[in-house]
Structure 1
Amino acid sequence: MASHCRVLVVIRRKLNPLFASYLQKGDLVFYDTDYDRIVNHVGIYESSNKMINATSSKGVSDTDTNNSYWKPRYVSP
């Protein structure tokens, strides 16, 4: 798993800086789900604060990026 996280950090650094208010459909959104300052989850932004998200517990779903779980874990560029 650590090598996957390292790859995500490299991808994130190569992207143009994005801020949550400027997200467009198809942008990748990055999260640090365990607060260790390493990106370990990526979603695809849809629109209206929704992302396509896949988890082992829920499978693929539309998720609100402003909910109490995802909002504090969002990693801004």
Structure 2
Amino acid sequence: MNSRIKYTGIFLAILLLGLIISCSESSDSGETTSNAGGSGSNCPTKTCGDFSSRAAAQATYDSNKSCYKNLDSDSDGIACENLK
């Protein structure tokens, strides 16, 4: 009888641990921001208006081209061409 209680406790502990891990992973993936990087991504929203120079926008774009692809409207690799 004592071993049955012991195994039930172990089973419940493993089940609880799995539930905690599952909830933790789902809350991480559900934390998104809406932006041009697409829904479901964790990219911060940045536009050319957020930068005072093209060099600053280019540095941000170069740091993660898929995340900040909206800074390069014509996809030529140059961010915010309208800035000086």
TM-score by length of 1: 0.24
TM-score of the superposition, structure 2-length normalised?
0.23
More helix by share: 2
Of Structure 1 and Structure 2, which has the larger fraction of its residues in strand?
1
